[in-house]
Structure formats: C-alpha cells, structure tokens
Amino acid sequence: MIGLLQRVRRAAVEVAGETVAAIGPGLLVLVGVQPGDGEAQARRLLERLLGYRVFSDAQGRMNLSLRDTGGGLLLVPQFTLAADTAKGARPSFTSAAEPARARELFETLVAHARGEWPNTGSGVFGADMQVSLVNDGPVTFWLQTNP
C-alpha cells in the first residue's frame, strides 16, 4: 500500500458539492493499493501514519507524531498513486490493484483507523472528489508497505 501523507493545517473532501469529511491540523493521506496488498499492509500503513514523526516539537524539529499531537487523519483513495510512469507519455495502471480489491482494502484501512483514531475522516472510493488542503510546511512524505 502507498500512503502519500501531507501535514496540513486543514483539509476537506467534497463529493457532488457536499463536504463528506474535514479535519483541522493533522495528516491528509492519499492512499493507493497495489496487487498483493492485504490486511497486513493496511495495518502496517496505519501504524506508520499514526507514529510517523512529522510534527514539530518545541525546538522546531520533526519529533512528534499524530499520536503525540492528537490531530486529524483524512484518508483519501487515489488509485493513480500506483501508476507505472516508467515509460511513454501516458501512465499505465497495471500496477494498481483491481478496483474491487482496492475498495475492500481502502475500507479496511479506514475501519481500522476509526477504531484506533476517532478523529479519522475519509473520502469516497470511486467518487469524483474535490480535495482541498492547506499544506503545513509544506511537508509531504511517501510511505509504502510492500506485499
């Protein structure tokens, strides 16, 4: 699984003009699912997201995690993260999981996140979403859990 995390001051997801999720300070994470990913990868990605030290401490160093700050977590499905862009002028999506499996694993990730982190919101798998954010820093990291 791939998680492109962005430290944000706020973020929101709209579908058909309606806000379906929003957070204040925390992490917006775009999530891609690859073939071979399973529940173990979803759990590992969540563990890393909650524990990854990307927030500043009193000295201005990135030493605090979401668990330390109590911020929000907004998970947004984005299959294009798994694209193969190695050649040509058009991405290939053969390296992305099949839609049904990707949906299942994304929803598994969200369910586990909500169980561990009450301040969790999510986008809608397969929907045309408009994602807005105020990136804090900017701070952006690519996390990947391999099958």
Has 19 been annotated as catalytic? no
Q: Cα–Cα distance between 61 and 24 in angstroms, integer?
A: 21
- Which amino acid does the sequence have at 143? L
Has 125 been annotated as catalytic? no
- Say which of 79, 108, 120, 145 is annotated catalytic: 79
Q: Cα–Cα distance between 108 and 130 in angstroms, integer?
A: 22
Has 80 been annotated as catalytic? yes
Look-up: residue for tokens 């807005």?
A: 132
- Say which of 6, 34, 41, 78 is annotated catalytic: 78
- Say which of 80, 85, 93, 130 is annotated catalytic: 80
Which residue spans within the chain are E strands per DSSP?
2-15, 18-23, 26-32, 55-56, 62-64, 72-77, 120-122, 129-144
The catalytic site residues sit at 78-80
